Structure 1
């Protein structure tokens, strides 16, 4: 079996980094280490116009205050409800950017946490591909773009990690990632595709 030359070339554009091991949550803010590998995220929110630049983890330790800031930033933009995110979602984002050599890149957030109320409303509207049991409801999913990075490359970087769900939306040029069960799908209405798994969407 031979790879398409372009796909073969894209595979070699990724930096050889792996998803870090699960981090620890300290009992006290004073237990956060002062030195170690820093994990930084720069996020922009398409719905609210807000931006955040935060170091959320140092070495193996998550920073509680930073996680709280990210939870608030990724709140349901429809009703302002906040939920505690699975910190592995942030590790997933950081590692995707590292794979692409874009650790300083800004992640444009299209959708973060969704309350059950919001998810039901989106499904009822018929204007989105919101799943009934979406990982957004569990604060484990993010829909995103990165300026200057094609969505197909974001998808490939996410898939290379072998973690959670990866949804590719070529028409709208964004990618869904989550820390739920491993699965993948493409949502491209009116376009024939062999590997769509819409029933497994996020």
Structure 2
């Protein structure tokens, strides 16, 4: 386990971040992903489990191990209850995209980690599920918001230029992953 040292300034800034939301522009998304931000926060809920997550997971250049464990649990395969380590880059992309949309509304997470069995079951039901989905590696999330359209979420994620982004208008969600930079429409 990594040792996490957080200064008093960093901790105070984290608490302040829960009360105030900055209005970043698209021009600073890339620097945010490269660690320019002192604080990174993610806020999501699951319509499947009813669980909520609102956590600061990065302060002053360091991931917070306890927060990452909380994210891993939240993004587990809810069908099998299997937990894997979620790639923090995926969370970084989702968090940066969220900041760009200038909203306090949390994401609704439709899918985080998927076990191979869950992925196979979903693939049998839908042609839009990849055989080697990055969901099975803890490298992807399917997200939506009530206050933002698929196009708005997609545009924010695309502006990060940091992974795969797919838009699914029919199912009203955007896929974000930390794999190769690519786009598609489902």
**How many pairs does the alignment contain?**
161
Q: CA deviation at 1:105?
A: 2.5
Q: Aligned with 1:109: secondary structure?
A: strand
- Please give the alpha-carbon distance, in whole angstroms, between the structure 2 residues aligned to 1:128 and 1:69: 32
Kindly provide the CA deviation profile for residues 30-79 of structure 1, in whole angstroms up to 9, marking residues without a partner as x.
xxxxxx82211111012111101111010210000000000000000110
Task: Confirm or deny that 1:18 pairs with 2:19.
Answer: no
- Unpaired runs of 5+ residues, structure 1, are 1-12, 24-35, 188-202
Higher RCO (CA 8 Å, separation ≥ 6 residues): 2
Look up the SS of the partner of 2:132 in the other structure: coil
**How far is 1:171 from its partner?**
1.3
Structure 1 length normalisation: TM-score?
A: 0.75
Calculate the aligned-residue CA RMSD, in Å. Answer: 1.8
2:96 aligned partner:
95
Query: Does residue 160 of structure 1 match 2:180?
Result: no
SS at match of 1:142: strand
Q: Secondary structure at the match of 2:137?
A: coil
Q: Residues 114-193 of structure 1: matches in 2 within 5 Å?
A: 114-124=114-124, 126-127=125-126, 129-187=128-186
Q: Name whichever structure is richer in helix by fraction.
A: 2
Contact 1:107 1:144 in 2 (8 A): yes
What TM-score comes out, normalization by structure 2 length?
0.81
Q: How far apart, CA to CA, are the structure 2 residues paired with 1:173 and 1:121?
A: 21
Mapped contact 1:106–1:147 kept (Cα < 8 A): no
Q: Which protein is bigger by CA-based radius of gyration? A: 1
Q: CA deviation at 1:22?
A: 5.3
